[in-house]
Structure 1
Amino acid sequence: MPKLATPLTELQISKAKAKSKPYALADGNGLCLVVSPGGGKTWQVRYRLPDGTRPWPATIGRYPSLTLAEARVRAVEVQRDAKAGKVTAGAQKARRAALDANSAERIAEEKAATERQHASFRAVSGRWLAEKRPTWAPETHRKARLVVDSYLVPKIGDADMRTLETKDVRPVLVEMAANTPQLARKARQYVGSIVDHAINEGLRADESALRLARILPTIRSGHMPAVTDDDGQLGEVMRAIDAHGNRVVRAALLLASMTAMRSGVVASARWSEIDLEAGEWRIPGKEPDGSNRMKTGQDFTTSLPRQAVEALREMHARTAGDEYVFPPQARQQTPHVSRDSLSLALRQMGFQGQHTTHGFRASLRTLGRERLGIDVDVLEAQLAHAPKDEVEAAYARVKFREKRREVMQAWADYLDELRESGKVVPFKRKA
């Protein structure tokens, strides 16, 4: 004799959870509750036709719209009508009803899956990067994408931004801090910004920012190495650059030292921007794709000292007709020399930890002030630091244009004096 099903209770039904596949909870007398993977709960009842056959179970309603007590009554009615040959939900109709219920459940599940994908860290971070790209310099965007794609997405790419918590992010940042502390700090900054983006999209409540401030261990940070207090050492740097065997790298480093422009801007200099006769370099604030060329996004003009013009004329003889002033070196994927090539050259010349290409900006800011007495406002204007407001920015561009021409020639002459004050040592590449 088959074992009779134990009748269901409201508590059992309310606690029934979705599983990976549909399953049924029997109530007895042919009635059962089918729980779908999406969590939907549907009443089905088995019955016999007058010829003794059992057609497809009839779907009689969904819980909780149809309660347990009501489902039992309806099950008795279906079985009674079937026995009398008055089945209102025949086999085909019941099958269609079941298929319709499954289709609705499947549509709901697909919709939920699409929403989860849209709200995933992978998708939100991708939209965040796309939104930031027009306002960032190419190198800033490249670094952010590296951190997001290589460190964050592999760990938390599938995390739902609607429910993401600090505890979900902490292990990733702590692991990064142990191996790449500087990138970990960037990653923490990026995660905070990505969460803000999710809030702006309406995926999270306004007050749901993560608590990331104290996650990482405190580390001692410093500025990029630069010679700022030793004239003799800066003279050594200039002598080494002058003797460098690679004329492309040499010219790029000379341009960086005499204009104090950022290394990425120097490396990507275009001939269309440079007027050798006027001795000017007019740098557009934006790249053709709309991303920032200058950090401020504003057009900038710097004068070119006589020594910089000489170095550029040498390059003009080599690359006239090309788009970029400094062509790429062996195996480089960029259309121009990589800014990393400039930093690598200084390291190979023996200045690792002492001076970088970016360090010429600090050298001008400090030694230009202390040795040449250049006004601070003029120095800030030459370094293209963002003024406090637009009025001040316009004022600085107009007021200091000619003054900057004078002081940058004086700075180039000062570098020449330092270079000539000692013996020139030919550069030899380290093994």
Structure 2
Amino acid sequence: MLTNVECRSAEPKDKPYKIYAETGLYLLVNPNGSKLFRMKYMYDGKARTYSIGNYGTGENEITLAKARQERDEAKKLLKEGRDPTLVRRLNRIQTTTDQSTIFQEVTQAWLKKNSSGWTPKHSADVASSFRTDVFPAIGRLPLAEINSVMVMKLVLEPIEKRTNFETAHRTRQRMSAVFRYSAALGLVPREHDPAGRHLLEVMQPVPPKRPQPAITELEPLREMLRKAEEYPCHPTTKLATRFLALTAVRVATMSGARWEQFVGLDGPLPVWEIPAEQMKGETGHKLPFTVPLCRQAVEVIEAARRINGQFPWVFPNDIRPQKGPISNNTVIFHLYRVGYRGKHTAHGFRASFSTIMNERQSSMRHIIDFALAHVPKDEVEAAYNRARYLEDRRRLHQEYADLLLEGFPSAFELLDGPKR
């Protein structure tokens, strides 16, 4: 074991030589008389050297005890999967005083600029992803100092280790957007995008999505829905489940339904006018969508108004109804409790509607696609056809509702059923 006496008495020779301490630490003695503490370590399958400092007791020198302490701290970083040399470099960079080029500051400006075109939920999700996964690792670094190794090792690989591969890819895309925004402002060269698409070559691919489980035969579907409505739960959950089954909209679209979106409920042509931000799609390319309502869906809305009319949402959260809408998972977990985990999910109502109605109305396949908001990429054609097929879709939804709910109790009777 290396001692202070050995460190002090070590004399220079014609060539540099090392005096080893323990577990990687050694003293390098150079011909000019300088004595430097170093540590050997392996990272990412490669041998590396960690520079600790000059031996001595002066203001900018390192004692043997301090060298051992820094060696232990470096080993702790290695156990966490972090390169101690890179961590020290990052810590030094973070002392910069030029806030205009700090990644976190520029990202906040990018978020502010873009959030006006996003839904509140999407804005919150994007901001949260930066706060959780990006800012703690590289948020205080200047843009120009961030490279692809940092992005991959410090941000994306930790996300991949949680097996959140889709999250890792979304995070890369968002970081890349920040760097492109920075380049447009002249803060970095245009080619400086360390989170660019070249990282896809080393990132874990997103596993293919498995189809959502769905019951696609009418009688088993009716049996499942009957069980779901007889099972003890909050009336709002039962109404939301029936409404999903009737309209075949996406769960997130249903949860955001507000009273003012429903038009003509007391007339012959009731509709649900869904705003663009409530629809699925890329930001800036979403379109509003109109759902023609069958009479059973109108009944669900009126029943919901009886218990939820004082809240902004048709289907509010059953615990804090004044704070927000029903969770996207409420109907899913309700179906799980009924016994349909792995057999049918809330999103599966869309497949149920599509399969059953395509079998009955095969000539209307393209209209059924429109009923599911599967629209052409051309926005003009999409808007035109949505209006054009409105009454055809109304007939489809009514036929489906009559098949699905034949013999079922009215929506108002669901208000008085068994509760959890």
TM-score range, shorter chain: 0.5 to 0.7
How do 1:59-138 residues align onto structure 2 when only pairs under 5 Å count?
A: 113=96, 116-138=98-120
Checking the alignment, whether the CA contact within 8 Å between 1:236 and 1:419 is kept in structure 2 is no
Structure 1 residue matching 2:136: 3-state secondary structure = helix
- 2:122 and 2:348 map into 1 onto residues whose CA distance is 18
SS at structure 2 position matched to 1:282: strand
* 2:240 corresponding residue in structure 1: 252
The alpha-carbon deviation at position 123 of structure 1 amounts to 1.9
Asked whether the equivalents of residues 270 and 298 of structure 2 are also in contact (C-alpha less than 8 Å), the reply is: no
Instruction: For residue 326 of structure 1, report the CA deviation from its aligned partner.
Output: 1.8
Match for residue 390 of structure 2 among 373, 397, 401: 401
| 1:380 to 1:325, Cα distance in 2 relative to 1, 3 A | same
Paired amino acid for 1:316: R
Separation of aligned partners in 2, 1:276 and 1:408: 15
SS at match of 2:204: coil
Task: Please tell me whether the aligned partners of residues 253 and 342 of structure 1 are also in contact (alpha carbons under 8 angstroms).
Answer: yes
Provide the rounded CA distance (Å) in 1 between the counterparts of 2:110 and 2:333: 32
TM-score calculated relative to the size of structure 1: 0.63
The answer on 1:329 being equivalent to 2:318 is yes
Correspondent of 1:268 among 247, 256, 262? 256
Corresponding residue for residue 169 of structure 2: 185
From 122, 147, 158, the equivalent of 2:129 is 147
User: How far did 1:258 drift?
Assistant: 1.1
Deviations 1:141-196 (A, max 9, x none): 33222221111111121122233211011112111112133322322222222222
CA distance in 1, matches of 2:135, 2:191: 24
1:168 aligns with 2:150: yes
- CA deviation string 1:216-248 (max 9, x = no partner): 223522145231645455334322332243210
What is the distance in 1 between the residues matched to 2:245 and 2:142?
Answer: 48
CA distance in 1 between partners of 2:222 and 2:345 (Å)? 14
1:226 aligns with 2:213: yes
TM-score (norm 2): 0.65
In structure 2, the residue corresponding to 1:301 is in which secondary structure?
Answer: strand
Which AA in structure 2 matches 1:311?
V
Q: Distance in 2 between matches of 1:130 and 1:176?
A: 25
Q: What is the RMSD of the two structures over their aligned residues, measured on CA atoms?
A: 2.9
Question: SS of the counterpart of 1:406?
Answer: helix
Sequence identity of aligned pairs in percent?
A: 28
Contact 1:365-1:379 within 8 A present in 2 as well: yes
Structure 1 pair 160/242, CA: closer, same or farther in 2 (3 Å)?
same
Instruction: Output the CA distance in 1 between the equivalents of 2:311 and 2:265.
Output: 16
**What are the superposed Cα offsets for residues 271-313 of structure 1, whole Å, 9 maximum, x if unpaired?**
2222321352332425xxxxx2233543322111122122222
Larger Rg: 1
Conservation of the 8 A alpha-carbon contact between 1:224 and 1:356: no
Aligned equivalents of 2:116, 2:354: Cα separation in 1: 29
CA gap 1:156/1:224 in 2 versus in 1, 3 angstroms: farther
**Shift in alpha-carbon separation, 1:251–1:203, aligned structure 2, 3 A:** same
1:380 aligns to 2:364 (yes or no): no
Flag structure 1 segments of 5+ consecutive residues without an equivalent.
Answer: 1-111, 287-291, 421-425
Match for residue 202 of structure 2 among 200, 210, 215: 215
3-state DSSP of counterpart to 1:405: helix
